Amino acid sequence: MTTNMTSRSDYALELRGLETVFDGDKGAVAAVRNVNLAIKPGEIVGLVGESGSGKSVTGLSIMGLIDRPGRVSKGEILLNGEDLRKVSAKRLRSLRGDRMAMIFQDPMMTLNPVLRIDTQMIEAITAHDPRIDKTVARNRCRDALGMVGIPDPEERLYAYPHQFSGGMRQRVAIAIAMLNNPDLIIADEPTTALDVTIQAQIIAEMQKLCKERGTALIWITHDLTVVAELTQRVYVMYAGSVVEEGPLDDVLDNPLHPYTQGLIRSIPADNDPGSRLFQIPGMTPPIDRMPKGCRFHPRCPYVQLDCLNDIELTQTSAARSVRCAHPINQGEQVS
């Protein structure tokens, strides 16, 4: 994917060699290492990983929300071709909430508990467009609430965040993120805390909105089943690096990395109740005790000696890449 960068407007967002480190007592440790990612306008991409995979840190790095002791130490973050690491803090603030927005697992990360919804929403508009007419802004807020499926949006504008249920609050957060028609939305586990019926509603809304408006959406989650429902392309992260990327169906039906395969197989299948689940032994290593070489090798069933050497993400076909010295091929696939 790094080969065909013809024009700068091809991608809504492009990450090149992103590295984010956290400074500690024993020097800097990398939470995210050499992440390359590209997403076109209107595309929905899944960023899948378990805790400690660096998926959330990647999202925060893009938004410029990494705080001390963490910092983005390497790489380029190109939003519509503009490198966010080189722009001024003021420019970054004006891009954030306008051209790119983030939705968190806990909607109260975006909502202020002591302000009414209309105050917060109108502020989100005027912050980027100070000359806008108040009534126009207000109508836009009402429409945004209606669009994410909140009943009686006109009336609900006057409510405070605590007067909404968890699912409704997440909808308000989505409405705020969508207000200025951003080019990119990063959603970090936005439905994990919600019930399945509510999750289904929100996924459906997001899908529709992004399609209609051409917004690029990065959906960060640990849940492969949600990714299967929603996304077109998927990046799998493990221990700070992308270990596999490709179109959704290819990755799910034909994983190349043993970790991806393990993740898919460890999800209970509908057809075989009561059977032993496939399990990946061990656990994700802590950030300051990463194994040498391929970071998955201590848990990998196919490990070989050369897995102790460092390994880069390599392209295997036009749309797919994998970071593995011995990627799984058809013959080894056990279904």
Stretch that binds other proteins, among 6-14, 20-28, 124-132, 216-224 (CB under 8 A): 216-224
Stretch that binds other proteins, among 22-30, 61-69, 94-102, 258-266 (CB under 8 A): 258-266
Number of residues that bind other proteins (CB under 8 A): 63
d(Cα 56, Cα 229) in Å, to the nearest integer?
20
293 sits near other proteins (criterion: CB under 8 A) = yes
Provide the β-strand partners of residue 12.
Answer: none
226 sits near other proteins (criterion: CB under 8 A) = yes
d(Cα 188, Cα 200) in Å, to the nearest integer?
16
Residue 56 parent element (H or E): helix 55-63
In whole angstroms, the minimum distance from the beta carbon of 68 to other proteins comes to 13
Question: Which structure tokens are listed for 59?
Answer: 């999202």
Stretch that binds other proteins, among 25-33, 34-42, 109-117, 283-291 (CB under 8 A): 283-291
24 sits near other proteins (criterion: CB under 8 A) = no
291 sits near other proteins (criterion: CB under 8 A) = yes
In whole angstroms, the minimum distance from the beta carbon of 304 to other proteins comes to 5
Q: Cβ neighbours of residue 327 under 8 Å, at least 6 residues apart?
A: 256, 257, 316
* DSSP track, 177-188: HHTT--SEEEEE
Q: What share of the chain is helix, strand, coil (3-state, %, to 5)?
A: 35, 25, 45
d(Cα 21, Cα 40) in Å, to the nearest integer?
27
* DSSP track, 107-127: GGGTS-TTS-HHHHHHHHHHT
In whole angstroms, the minimum distance from the beta carbon of 210 to other proteins comes to 13
d(Cα 150, Cα 237) in Å, to the nearest integer?
34
266 sits near other proteins (criterion: CB under 8 A) = yes
Judged by CB under 8 A, which of 83, 292, 314, 318 binds other proteins? 292
Judged by CB under 8 A, which of 207, 254, 315, 316 binds other proteins? 207
Nearer to other proteins, 17 or 301 (CB): 301
Judged by CB under 8 A, which of 277, 310, 317, 319 binds other proteins? 277
Burial status of residue 305 (CB atoms within 10 A of its CB: 0-12, 13-18, 19 or more): exposed
21 sits near other proteins (criterion: CB under 8 A) = no
Residues 43 to 72: which contact other proteins by CB under 8 A?
Answer: 50-51
Residue 137 parent element (H or E): helix 134-147
Nearer to other proteins, 4 or 275 (CB): 275
Stretch that binds other proteins, among 2-10, 82-90, 93-101, 226-234 (CB under 8 A): 226-234
Other C-beta atoms within 10 Å of 131: how many? 5
Collapsing DSSP to helix, strand or coil, 35 comes out as: strand
Can you give the binding site for other proteins, defined by CB under 8 A?
50-51, 165-168, 195-201, 203-204, 207, 222-226, 228-230, 232, 248-249, 252, 262-264, 266-270, 272-281, 283-284, 289, 291-293, 297-298, 301-305, 307-308, 332, 334
